[in-house]
Amino acid sequence: MNTMTGTILDGNKIAAQIKAEVAEEVQKLSAAGIRPGLAVILAGHNPASEIYVRNKVKACEQVGVHGETLTPPDSVTTAELLDMVERLNQRHEIDGILVQLPLPAQVDSKKVLLAVAPEKDVDGFHPLNVGNLSTQRPGLVPCTPAGVIEILRRGNIAMEGRHAVVIGRSDIVGKPVAMLLLNHNATVTICHTRTKELASHTRTADILVAAAGRANLISKEMVKPGSAVVDVSTNWVEGHQVGDLGPGVDAVAGWLTPNPGGVGPMTRAMLLKNTYQAEVRRRG
């Protein structure tokens, strides 16, 4: 068999396309005196979160979306954060509210996320938006799963009738990406850390979405030749970002997202798109 090298699904390139599309739409709104706005709550001092938030706000500015960051201290209480969210819910010029996780240990994260108005929930975490997704009603979809679908769609990878295997069952990635694939008429298998004989599932996948958060989890022997492999996870090994894929997967897969440079940039691009869409929906 010839050694094949998969086609790279370039997240940076696709994200740039989406940003350009959003910028164009935002420009049309600004001609009517309207500007979408995103507020990010960043509680305490988590260096990784600070970088993520800085990148998100910078991306907002690039496409003409108003971005602001609220930085309550490490000692913030659940009640104080609920009050902060409620004030943002009331502000008409704020279309999207993003609560950066993790929150400080003393805070009831679920309570805070639930307080975000569903129509401003640009992360798509609110149960109402989760319900909209699972019943195929319009709503805000989590950014990373939406980015995975966009990569496949713009990479011209057919989802309908294909067998998709999702490794990971988190509320943030695994479950919503499985639901989106199902909504695109794929046949979906969800695997996770308790799945027995993982390879027997992954070897049958036309589309493999790796979101388990374990470096080198997927060896080249576990991948169906010619399949599309999307590597979602961010793992740090000796100071370097890697995903869930082991060496040699690129020689077997037909399509592959790099890591970094695959799903990460897409998450930020879809956040901008969600903020724009939230603005349009709220104003009818």
Task: Give 142-264's CATH code, choosing from 3.40.50.2000, 3.40.50.12500, 3.40.50.720, 3.30.1120.10.
Answer: 3.40.50.720
Residue 3 has pLDDT above 60, yes or no: no
Task: Give 34-117's CATH code, choosing from 3.30.2270.10, 3.30.200.20, 3.40.50.10860, 3.30.70.360.
Answer: 3.40.50.10860
Copy the structure tokens of residue 188. Answer: 């979906």
- In the chain, list all ranges with CATH 3.40.50.720: 142-264
Residue 4 has pLDDT above 80, yes or no: no
For residue 225, is the peptide bond before it cis, meaning its omega torsion is within 30 degrees of 0?
no
The pLDDT value given to residue 1: 34
The better pLDDT of the pair 116, 47 is held by 116
Q: Which residues are catalytic?
A: 56, 100, 123
Whether the CB-CB separation of 270 and 150 falls below 8 Å is answered with yes
Task: Enumerate long-range contacts of 244-247, CB under 8 Å, 24 or more apart.
Answer: 244/167, 244/210, 244/211, 244/212, 244/213, 244/214, 244/215, 244/216, 244/217, 244/218, 245/210, 245/216, 245/217, 245/218, 246/216, 246/217, 246/218, 246/219, 246/220, 247/216, 247/220
- Render pLDDT for 229-238 as a digit per residue (tens, 0 to 9): 999 999 999 9
Average pLDDT on 96-112 reads 97
